[in-house]
Structure 1
Amino acid sequence: MSAELAGRLALVTGAGRGIGEAVVAALVEQGARVVATDLDAEAVRELSAKYGEHVTGHPLDVTDPTAVEALVDETERTLGPLDIAVNVAGILRSSAVVDLTDEDWAATFAVNANGVFHVSRATARRMAGRGRGSIVTVASNAAGIPRTGMAAYAASKAAAVMFTRCLGLEVAARGVRCNSVSPGSTCTDMQRALWTSGDEAEAARRVIEGDLASYRTGIPLGRIAEPADIADAVVFLVSDRARHITLHDLYVDGGATLRA
């Protein structure tokens, strides 16, 4: 276990699986203590059991601002000041715009944009008062390039990216850095839910090669990301190695968007 983040306390949302779980593992590996939160209470209990004293699990609905404030307050009162916050919680409701329901649009923004606002506001307020801290939002490369069937998701992630940059501008003078990481296709439950083929290898190949019919480019590096690839980028941005980086959106997509 490295000591790069030793002595630091991190809050991670969406920690129950996929990228969030990988972020928890990477932070612990670098010596941080982690408050792992997710709507899935059993998933965060399992993380606590797995990592022992290094991880404290709490169920959390990021769409509830009162619950977010209460958890951040309890964390700082019982475990100490938060040094790091990582917004990973997110949902995807795939649909053509003409068929997209009001409920799916609202639910997508409630988690992907409002949730980022609630957690970032609560943690940034305290970090700024202490003159230090780092906030990272896990967004998506869909925030920077149009995707068919993903208008709500892409728009909500674009909102999260710009919010994080604006927040970063406001708190930079008080020693708080705010950045985002924008993954491309990553091997998670969310990604697999988009695959219509029962053959995962074939579905992955189609993603890597791209699809002209849906105006989707392939992945130049020729592989789908693993959650750990995204977690490594997050850990870099919260570390002292990135001490002069803020308001940045780091694409981790194997070149899929051609950085459009």
Structure 2
Amino acid sequence: MTTLAGKVAIVTGGASGIGYAMVQNLLEAGAKVGVADLNEEKLKELEQQHKGELLGVVTNVTKEEDIKNLVNKTVEAFGGLDIAFNVAGASKSGAIIDQPEEDWNFTVDLCLKGVFLSLKHEAKYMKEHGGGAIVNVSSLNAHVPMHYGAAYSSAKAGVEMLTKNAALEMSKHNIRVNAILPGLVSTPLTSGLTDVDAINEAYLERIPMERAGDPKEIAGPALFLVSEEASYVNGASLLVDGGWAVTGYPDLSKFITENRP
């Protein structure tokens, strides 16, 4: 287990799914964690469970003032910031010719702008305090398109390129920036699809390991990327998808009616 005793981390979208698994791993490794999410009830619950080790901050990652507040409160509570995982994301799907502009904006703002704003203010602090390590959560869909997922796939491709640009700009400040690209993972956000047997089977046909990943199986590699063992890994994109990228995305259009899943 990687030791992160004395380190301070931020996790956006940390109250559930992959983000929550990352929070758990950080705490187990000895880090103190500022957790950003919109779920105030869950954040309060986590604070009670991990008194003195975890700070919950209600945060809309698409609002710059919220991100500034998140960084400031984390630094005030724990004395610094060394690590960040930018996980928050969701999507509203739709065919390109039918998708409302507001659904496109919701998805791109949350998945790409939210990472940009988080990265901007995390790195700004790290630049002035000796450096750090940041991991942005992109997706297999940065490489593999999917029916009715143009907004999400485009945003996640943007996250991957943003990560590379950040690594290029920030290396001189001793800040490493990498991306992790999950495939299908069992989370509340994916259950609406995978709970439908026919859709789940279509996914599993394309995944050589024949199962969805567990959030912990994404959090583990992400923790490696911020560890000393990965000290020469920078600007990288780590696929964690059970081999899915070698087969392509299933055609889910036959399961979609009225341009909505």
TM-score, length-scaled by structure 2: 0.91
Give the number of aligned pairs: 248
Say if 2:200 is the partner of 1:204: yes
**Aligned-partner residue type, residue 237 of structure 1:** L
Tell me by how many angstroms 1:203 deviates.
Answer: 4.5
* 2:193–2:199 Cα contact (<8 Å) kept: no
Q: Which residue of 2 aligns with 1:55?
A: 54
Deviations 1:71-94 (A, max 9, x none): 212322332110001101001212
* Aligned position for 2:5: 6
Q: Which amino acid aligns with 1:73?
A: N
Contact preservation (8 Å) 1:16, 1:44: yes
Q: 1:244 aligns with which of 232, 255, 258?
A: 232
User: What residue is the counterpart of 1:157 in the other structure?
Assistant: 156
Tell me how large the CA RMSD over aligned residues is: 1.6
1:257 to 2:256 alignment: no
Which range moved further: 42-51 or 161-170? Answer: 42-51
Q: Deviations over 1:146-188 (max 9, x none)?
A: 1111110000111111111101110101110000100000001
CA distance in 2, matches of 1:259, 1:165: 25
Q: Is the 8 A contact 1:86 1:138 kept in 2?
A: yes
Stretches of structure 1 lacking an aligned partner (at least 5 in a row): 210-217
Deviations 1:58-110 (A, max 9, x none): 11000100121122123223321100011010012121112211001001111
Q: Equivalent residues in 2 for 1:128-207 (5 A)?
A: 128-195=127-194, 197=196, 199=197, 203-207=199-203
How many Å separate the matches in 1 of 2:102 and 2:172?
A: 39
SS where residue 225 of structure 1 aligns? coil
Query: How far is the alpha carbon of 1:44 from its aligned partner?
Result: 1.3
**What amino acid sits opposite 2:128 in the alignment?**
G
Return the alpha-carbon distance in structure 2 between the equivalents of residues 48 and 234 of structure 1: 23
Distance 1:125 1:154 in 2: 28
Give the equivalent residue in structure 2 for 1:31: 30
Conserved 8 A contact 1:3-1:31: no
Specify whether residues 52 and 203 from structure 1 end up closer, same or farther in structure 2 by C-alpha distance, changes over 3 A only: farther
**How far, CA to CA, are the matches of 1:170 and 1:186 in structure 2?**
31
Partner of 1:75: 74
Matched-pair contact (CA < 8 Å) for 2:183–2:244: yes
Tell me how far apart the structure 2 counterparts of residues 41 and 182 of structure 1 sit (CA, whole Å). 27
CA contact (8 A) 1:92 1:190 kept: no
- Structure 1 residue 205, shift from structure 2 partner: 3.2
| Aligned AA (1:183) | P
Long gaps (5+) in structure 2: 249-261
Identity level (%)? 36
Q: Structure 1 length normalisation: TM-score? A: 0.91
1:194 match: secondary structure? helix
Contact 1:62 1:119 in 2 (8 A): yes
Specify which of 192, 213, 219 is matched with residue 207 of structure 2. 219
Task: Provide the secondary structure at the position in 1 that maps to 2:246.
Answer: coil
SS in 1 for 2:51: helix
Contact kept, 8 Å, 1:135 with 1:238, in 2: the verdict is yes
Q: Distance in 1 between matches of 2:233 and 2:142?
A: 20
The 1:256–1:96 alpha-carbon spacing in structure 2 relative to 1, beyond 3 Å, is same
Q: Which amino acid aligns with 1:246?
A: N
Partner of 2:20: 21
- Would you say the 8 A contact 1:182–1:250 is kept in 2? yes
**Does the C-alpha gap of structure 1 residues 259 and 87 become closer, same or farther in structure 2, counting only changes over 3 Å?**
farther
